[in-house]
Structure formats: structure tokens, C-alpha cells
Chain A
């Protein structure tokens, strides 16, 4: 007599189901006790810093990582507290997040979407990261944001400037503090009009990928509204290193302005070519020929050397700002590392504080509670003046800096001078203009 109805087939089926269950990634198993992915159970909470540690943006990634380490130090009560002392919200006390000490793991995005997703996935599944942040590319940001949405993890974007990140590709679990192409165009246009007049002919060289397209569109739209004419827009391969073939014909086109919708190495090389071909000294249509770089980065400006002098662009933040938050951050970062932080470092530091603050105010690490705490959150003291995390698209709205390559730098870091702080109201747009659906928050359960 047998009390068991176990059959060979039943055993195989049971084993297969159990095996599949064990093989499932952590985030798909959903913590049954907490109702969300990677709920911290011990006395630490783990954050995942996904930055380019190799590849062309490795230096920018290294600066992001420095900022994250500083943020973790401050959250855990170390150092001088940095911007925690100037932040308008006083929820952070220097005792970690919700009483748990902050730990972190890092991943290398390599500035490749596939590699970035793989490293983020690994930090979520193997290391139990409760939030992913970082990156230096919009392609990477969109890819990782999508992964975090599926995984039920909050994504606090690093340096990503494409309209798409919080436009057509926005996600309920993703948040961006950095500004975008639209804001660059809206901030730059009035300054360009004042300095170069309203009767101008622009020639665009545009990096042949998503960010390049949105930046070209933003600058074209805003400058054409001023009265400028766009005589040509040429896409340049992302892997292009010498831009002579693209720059050489510019003067023959009838243009008197060259807009370089390039970032990183592309920007350094195209600007160098443009300066070599005498565009800075040239005359066209009876006017001085001018060059514009819509998105500046101090690290990239350093690579371009003296070629940046006098050239207008925009930036999210600059270390020379004199508000209390910026001063506190520059002091903290500069004392620890010996040089001022980049805009990438700033946005990453701020995103970490904003996440921690949201968790404290929500009283939970549940991504949906944190998302709710961030949506519509207004704050100040983090270096960009009064800022709103807009609920409709999870984009921060704050002042935008119009900068110019400094003619007579005082030191090796003094490469850009702030020409104008464009008020947030001037760069704010309707959340629906870039399409996309935010969807609903996914806690992973």
C-alpha cells in the first residue's frame, strides 16, 4: 500500500517548476514580505551606481563616481555634509536612509546600452540594489530606465540631455534632474539674438544619433523663431574623428553661424576643426562668423583647450555659481578630491540626495512611495535655485546656465564663464509636446 501518489512525471513537473522558480531573477520573485523589489532587510540599503568606467566617457564617469561616494559619505554622517546643510528639505539627518546605513555597488555602462542594462541587471539581481543611478549618455539612460521600470526599481538618471528621456521614452520609475535639449535651445536663443542679431544663417553639424537629433531640433526651432534661417543641417557619423570634410564647405554654404550639435570627443574634434579652418576669424554676409556649442561640459572644454574661448553654449550647473548649495558642494568635493566637480558630478550627487530625501519623506523604500514623494516635489538649496520635479514627466525644471568659453582663464578649471542664468519659467514647456506615456509605477511585486 502506498500513501504517495508521486509519479515520475509528477516529480519532473514539480522539479521543473521549483527549478524555474529558483532560477527567476530576484526582482521577478518579488519580495513577498515587502511587496516591492529588493526591500532592504538588514541594517544597510544598497544603491547601484551605473557609470561609464571604461570607454570614451570614462573620465566623466569617474567624476560621477566621486560624487556618489561623497553623497554616500554625507548620507552616512561623514564629511561636512555638503549640500545636506543647504537643502530646503530637512528630512535627511546623516544617519543613512530610514536608519539604514547606505552601501553601494558600481557597474560599468561602457556608454553602451546593452552593457549598461547588463550591469544594472546584475546590481539589481545579485547585489540587491534598491535604486539605480548614473550614466553619461541618453541612449544608456533610456535603456536602463526601461529595465528599471520592468524590474520595479527607481532610476535616477545621471547626465542625459535628450528630450526623449523624459519625453517619448519616459517611464514612471525614472526621474531626471539634468536639463534637456529643449531647455538648451530656449535658454540660448535670446542670448544668441542679443549677441549675434536676428538676421543670421545657421549651418548645423549634428551627431547622427538620438541626442544629436533632439538638440538640433531644439536649437533650430528656437533660433528660427528668432528669425534665423537654417541653410543646412548635416549629420555626422558618431565615430567621426576628423571633421575637416564637414567643416571645410561651411563658408561656401552662405552660412554665418555654425552650430555644433556634438558632445564629448565629437565636440572636441569638430570644434578644433572649425577653429583650424579659420571660422572664428572669418567674415560671412558682412558679419563675423560665429560658432555655437549647445551643450557644454567643463571636462570636454578642457579637451578642446583654447578653442572654446568666446563660444556660447549651455550647461546644467557650473562650479563657479555662488549660491550656498553650490558653494557647499564645491567646498566638499574640492577638499576631498583637489579639483572642482563637473556638471555630471553635480547632477549625480543631487539625484542621490533627492532619492534619499524622498525615501525619508515617504517612510519607505517602496519605489512607488518614493515616486509619489518625488512627483511635484519643490525644493531649493541644491545649486540650481528653486526646482520642481514635475509629476507629469518626472523632469526637473530649474534655471539653466548660458555660458561662454572664458577668454582669460584664471586657472586650469576656469574655462567657462556664466553669461546668464535663464529662469526656469523661460525653459518650461508643456509635458505633452514630446509624446510618450509615463505609465504606472511598478514596485516589482
Chain B
């Protein structure tokens, strides 16, 4: 029982990342009809927004400390962050410690701009082209973006720890009445799950209860008719692209303490996220979220030692097996709508 609870918990935070990326993918596909293979790169850029902010906050001037030596035996050059000069050491340390949550504020405008520039500068030229062309161009763009990041930040992972207050883990099992030390779970992963739930709710509320969202939903259902009503639906869809980029970017920002950011992290999520979208049902936002969590939990169970010993290699293929079974039994996915990507 403890193992089951633990794997469900473990699946929830993995599912959170899948759900957030798949949600953005579905938003773009549902509004613009574009299969965006650069979406994983947006997740990665979000993570590097954290790294960038961390570096900006740590931007330093050099002070020579004669009492210490560097690795060559020369007087040590100590880097003193400018914010330490401005706010004092304690305040500076607190600000740097909280750089991951602060990066949310930094990433929102950055990701919106990147999303809008991407859509206006490149992707709009491929709206009327076949999906294969869209996949090729967005996949190419993803490679370009990750190579740019690698050229600037290097290939090694860069640590971006959570604030001290969220470091460590707590005994979830004791809360549920199990023995101590049986179900240990990191604080930050719970924060990530809560953040994902909040963000997903926010997107649904925005689409469901605002005029802008209503127009977008109408445009998703029948773009031409909405256009005939004199509404500039293209402009709204561009903003939706920016919003989807923002969702992916924020998912990346908050993911950094879980896994140190590296240039390849977007690609690691991309394929699975597409499976999530297909399993959830092309164009279905609730489907993407549901499939994200279902597949996350399924993958978690398939990674159990007992399961791997019984079915070696199942941990590597379970998501694809599940996709095959679901698509055979429900060809439109869990919550797919009739007419989406169908002749």
C-alpha cells in the first residue's frame, strides 16, 4: 500500500510537467492548427530564464583578497555581487536564494515576447502548409534554439536550487498513518504539483470566464464565422501562442530545482508530451491535462523494481504501450473531439 501511494505521488509531479507542456501544445494546435515541435524548446528556455536571472542577480565585481589564494597560488579574486553592495549580504543572499520563484516574474514577459515573435516571425508563414512542413520547421527551430543555449551556457547541467525553506523532504506517510520513513517526498515536488494545478486552473478560468477566452474558444470552434463578425481572431490567436509559450516557460522555470537545467531538457519532454496530446485527444485541453497525469502515474508504476523484474524494459515503453491501447479503443483519444485532424 505504501508503495502504491508513493508511486502515485511520484507520478503526480512527473504528470504535472507533461500536463503543462501538453496544455501549451494543445492550445497552439487548437487555436492555430500548428503542430509545434519547438514547444519543448520553450520549456527549456523557461528553465534558462531561471539560470539567466540567477546570473543577473549574482552579477559581481572582483575584490582581491590577499589573505586567500586561488588554485594557482595567486591572491584570490573574490566575486562580490552588486546586490550585496546595494542591499547588504543577508538581503542579497535571500534574494539569490529565492531566484527560482522570482524567475517566474522574469520569465512571463520574456516568454510572451518569444512566443509572439516566434509566431509572427516564422510560424504564421506555415499556417496553410501541410502538417509535415510545420513539424519540420518547428523541429528545426527547436534545434536552433537549443544550440544557441548550448553555445552560451555550455552543455553541462547548471544547478538551480530551490529556496532553502523548500529544500529537503517531509514524511508524507506519517500524515496518512503509515510508519515513519516509508513515504518520504520532497517539498519542492509538492510545490511543483501545486503550481501546475494553479496554472492549469488559471488557463481554464481565463478561457472559460473572460471575454477574450470566450472569443478564442469560439475561434477554435469556427474561425471563419468569428472572423466574419469583425473580430480580429488572428491577433487573439497570436496572443494565445504567447500564452502557450508562457505556460511552457513557467513549467520550465519551476522545474529547475527538480533537474538541473541543460540545453537538451526540452527534447527529453517533447516526444512524451506529443504522446500525451494524442492520448488526451487532439485539441482537447482537459484531455491533455488528464492524459498528462494518467501517463505520469503509469510511468511511475512501470519504474517500480518489482514491475521491471517481472517485465524487463517495461519502464521504457509503458507510455507508448498505453498510447497504442487507448488509441485502439478510443481512436480520438481520451477526450478528443470529432473532426479534429480527421478528413
Contacts and interface: CB of A to CB of B under 8 A. Distances in A.
A433 B150 CA distance: 42
Nearest to A232: B305
Given A232-B305, A241-B268, A245-B303, A278 B168 contact: yes
B2 A252 contact: yes
B184 A251 contact: yes
B157 A265 contact: yes
Q: How large is the interface on A (under 10, 10 to 19, 20 to 34, 35 or more residues)?
A: 35 or more
Contacts of A269: 157, 259-260
Contact of A55 (B76, B155, B157): B155
A276 interface: yes
A242 interface: yes
Interface in A57-80: 57-59
Interface stretch (B5-13, B27-35, B221-229, B332-340): B5-13
Contact of B260 (A55, A305, A340): A305
A299 B181 contact: no
B186 A276 contact: yes
A330 B71 contact: yes
Interface string B9-52: 11101100000000000000000000000000000000000000
A410 B73 CA distance: 13
Contacts, number: 129
Contacts of A55: 155
Contacts of B3: 249, 252
A272 B156 contact: no
B156 A237 contact: no
Contact of A282 (B157, B184, B259): B184
Contacts of B189: 244, 276
Q: Which of A245, A306, A330, A410: most chain B Cβ within 10 A?
A: A245
A58 B150 contact: yes
B70 interface: yes
A277 interface: yes
A128 B156 CA distance: 33
B159 interface: yes
A244 B155 contact: no
B161 interface: yes
A245 B156 contact: no
Contacts of A320: 71
B188 A276 contact: yes
A234 B169 contact: no
Interface string A281-299: 1111000000000000001
Given A235-B308, A251-B184, A269-B260, A302 B72 contact: no
A324 to B, nearest CB: 14
A294 B98 CA distance: 33
B76 A252 contact: no
Contacts of B2: 252
B159 A304 contact: yes
Interface in B148-204: 150, 154-159, 161, 168-169, 181-182, 184-186, 188-189
A305 B261 CA distance: 12
B316 interface: yes
Given A249-B305, A276-B169, A278-B186, A299 B156 contact: yes
B300 interface: yes
A413 interface: yes
Nearest to B168: A278
B261 to A, nearest CB: 10
B99 interface: no
A326 to B, nearest CB: 11
Given A303-B157, A411-B71, A249 B304 contact: yes
A251 B260 contact: no
Contacts of A278: 168-169, 184, 186
B72 A334 contact: yes
Contacts of B262: 56, 265, 303
A241 B169 contact: no
A237 B188 CA distance: 24
B13 to A, nearest CB: 7
A303 B260 contact: yes
A330 B72 contact: yes
Q: Which of A237, A265, A305: most chain B Cβ within 10 A?
A: A265
A282 B181 contact: yes
A319 interface: yes
A305 B13 CA distance: 22
A411 B70 contact: yes
Contacts of A58: 150, 154-155
A335 interface: yes
B275 to A, nearest CB: 15
B299 interface: yes
A413 B76 CA distance: 12
A246 interface: yes
Interface in B239-269: 257-260, 262, 264-265, 268
B144 to A, nearest CB: 14
A266 B181 CA distance: 26
B47 to A, nearest CB: 12
A59 B14 contact: no
Given A58-B150, A248-B6, A251-B182, 9 more contacts: A54-B150, A59-B154, A245-B304, A249-B304, A252-B182, A265-B262, A303-B159, A307-B159, A320-B71
Interface of A: 54-59, 232, 234-235, 237, 239, 241-242, 244-246, 248-249, 251-253, 265, 268-269, 272-273, 276-278, 281-284, 299-300, 302-307, 319-320, 330-331, 334-335, 339-340, 410-411, 413-414
9 contacts: A245-B299, A248-B7, A248-B9, A249-B305, A276-B169, A303-B262, A304-B157, A340-B71, A411-B70
Interface of B: 2-3, 6-7, 9-11, 13-14, 68, 70-72, 76, 150, 154-159, 161, 168-169, 181-182, 184-186, 188-189, 257-260, 262, 264-265, 268, 299-300, 303-305, 308, 315-316
The 3 closest A-B pairs by CB, nearest first: A305-B159, A245-B303, A278-B169
